[in-house]
Amino acid sequence: MGRRKGSNVLKWTLIGSGIATGAALIPLIPAIKKRAIRATTILTKDHRLVNGLIATLEVTPRLSSTVRKRLFEEIRMNVMVHAQVEEEILYPIMRNLMFMRGESKVDESYREHQQIKDLLNSLAMMDPNTDAFDNKFEDFKSRIQHHVVEEEAEMFLVVRQRISTEEQERLGQRIHARKISSMPKMAA
């Protein structure tokens, strides 16, 4: 029985490490195609990546705090960079595009980002193998899912409706460049 449990620990350690390593390398892979990518496409892909990492962390057993911690750090890094890029590039544009409604919508998005960042910083100080971590992580997941649904349904729709394809692609280039410069540098 003890041997079987040990092999499960090793299996989940290897699987979790592989997932976390793969996710860490995604931002470092240069664009495979040289075609322009719209801003909303880049940001939506970020949302899907984080959603996948969240799902992976949720199904990863509490067998190795290293695996869960690594997955959490991937989530945290991706969310922090994504939020920074949106706050610096997308949200100022949204204020202009959404006119009067945009002011309150953008302010709400900034507040939601701050709440999410605060939760991430709090989670970073916790043991990922505890009920307390899982409970707070569930709150984080709920808040980020709510934020993503609103952003994709409202803000991204406005971008697609009011900005030309060419301008969306230029905005995508700015976002991509900023994300690359914001990613933590890999140790040589």
Query: Confidence class of residue 16 from pLDDT cuts 50, 70 and 90?
Result: low
Better-predicted residue by pLDDT, 102 or 67: 67
The residues, ordered by sequence, that sit 6+ positions from 130 with a Cβ below 8 Å of its Cβ are none
- Look at residue 188 and tell me if it is in a domain: no
Residue 78 forms part of a structural domain: yes
- The predicted pLDDT at position 15 comes to 63
The confidence score (pLDDT) of residue 117 equals 97
Mean pLDDT, the chain, whole residue set: 84
Would you say residue 187 lies in a domain? no
For residue 47, give the CATH number of its domain: 1.20.120
Note whether residue 71 is domain-resident.
yes
DSSP string, 19-63: HHHHHHHGGGSPPSS-S---HHHHHHHHHHHHHHHHHHHHHS-TT
Q: Determine the pLDDT at residue 51.
A: 96
Question: Percent of the chain beyond pLDDT 90?
Answer: 66
pLDDT tens track for 108-155 = 999 999 999 999 999 999 999 999 999 999 999 999 999 999 999 999
pLDDT at 44 > cutoff 60: yes
Residue 21 has pLDDT above 70, yes or no: no
pTM: 0.79
**Full residue range of the structural domain in which residue 122 is found:** 2-182
In a domain, 145, yes or no: yes
Structural domain count of the chain = 1
Q: In 3D, which of 81, 70, 48, 36 has the Cα closest to residue 178?
A: 81
Write down the pLDDT at residue 87: 96
Residue 6 lies in a domain: yes
**Residue 172 belongs to some domain of the structure:** yes
Tokens of 136: 């707070």
What pLDDT score does 186 carry? 43
Report which of 176, 146, 171 is spatially closest to residue 90, judged by C-alpha positions.
Answer: 171
